[in-house]
Amino acid sequence: MAELTFFYGTMNCGKSTLALQIHHNAVVAGKTCELLTKHDRGGGTISSRIGLAQPATVVAEGLDLFAYVAERIADGHTIDVLICDEAQFYTPEHVEQLADVVDQLGVDVQAFGLLTDFTTGLFPGSRRFLELADRRQELQVEARCWCGERGTLNARTVDGRIQREGEQVVVGDVDADLVAYEVLCRRHHRAGVTRAVADRPLEVVELSA
Ligand SMILES: [Zn+2]
């Protein structure tokens, strides 16, 4: 039976590396894989920080994923496994379409994404994956906060300062170059102590004085 699996973790926890590893293993086993991604700055590539990369189809906002996969199969393509990277950016409708891909087309779907955004709330797509997946798997490669504790929350920073409000996804913003992301432990996320702030102890004293 085909299954819908959702692998999740923080940024920098090796999601794309695992996605590419699963792709490699499936290909070696003689299976046919298709790779999808969303909001990919590289323009259709799943790449990992350890240097692996594979071309991927970018999921457009209004794309019906069920219709897309059904058409590919009707056109004579074999699809055994669908690997979905950046799964947090998929809409809840995309996730439902992927569940139908599993149930009606018999294609395994393996999705990889973040659980929560920089405000610590669930991404809508990730919520739907949690609700519908046959298997939910937290990635065991853990990112660390600058303090050494387990990094469980994603922070958005501008010039090193933690951001509490803003769009869930920064796309094509003129200030996007100033925006950075950092994984923090809960204590430091709640306190807003990023690595940059921790490296500026005098400034912290000033602020709290
Ligand atoms: Zn910490």
pLDDT tens figures, 155-185: 999 989 999 998 888 765 556 678 899 999 9
Q: Determine, yes or no, domain membership for 143.
A: no
Q: Report the first-to-last Cα separation within the chain, whole angstroms.
A: 62
User: The domain spanning residue 101 has which CATH number?
Assistant: 3.40.50.300
Give residue 146 CA to ligand 1 midpoint distance, Å. Answer: 6
Q: What angle do CA 169, 186, 117 make, to 5 degrees?
A: 10
Going by C-alpha positions, the residue among 118, 50, 41, 120 that lies closest to residue 85 is 41
Domain range for 31 is 4-138
Q: How far is the CA of 118 from the centre of ligand 1 (A)?
A: 15
Q: Is residue 74 a contact partner of residue 67, using CB atoms and an 8 Å limit?
A: no
34, 105: one domain: yes
Same-domain check for residues 123 and 158: no
Tell me if 147 is assigned to some domain.
no
Q: Which of 79, 105, 138 is the last residue of a domain?
A: 138
Residues 6+ away with beta carbon under 8 Å from 130: 6, 8, 115, 122, 136
Other C-beta atoms lying within 10 Å of the C-beta of residue 173: 12
Is residue 85 in some structural domain?
A: yes
Q: Within a domain: residue 176?
A: yes
Catalytic residues, by residue number, are 86
Distance separating alpha carbons of residues 37 and 45, to the nearest angstrom: 7
- What is the whole-number distance in angstroms between the Cα of residue 155 and the centre of ligand 1? 12
Among 109, 138, 167, residue at a domain's last position:
138
104 found inside a domain:
yes
Indicate if the pLDDT at residue 106 is higher than 70. yes
Residues of 120-147 as b/e, b for ≥16 C-beta within 10 angstroms?
Answer: eeebbbbbbbeebbeeeeebeebbebbe
For residue range 127-159, what is the model confidence (pLDDT) as tens digits? Answer: 999 999 999 999 877 789 999 999 999 999 998
Q: Cα torsion at 10, 13, 19, 24 (round to 10°)?
A: 180
Separation of CA 147 and ligand 1 centre (Å): 4
175 in the same domain as 125: no
Residues 160, 82 share a domain: no
Distance separating alpha carbons of residues 87 and 102, to the nearest angstrom: 16
Residues in a beta bridge with 3: none
Decide: 4 and 107 in contact? Cβ < 8 Å.
Answer: no
Overall average pLDDT of the 38-45 stretch: 74
Instruction: Based on the fold, state whether residues 92 and 15 are members of the same structural domain.
Output: yes
Residue 145 lies in a domain: no
Q: Specify the pTM.
A: 0.87
Contact yes or no for 86/39 (Cβ under 8 A)? yes
The whole-number average pLDDT for the span 37-61 is: 82
Q: Give the count of domains, the chain.
A: 2
Residues 69, 18 within the same domain: yes
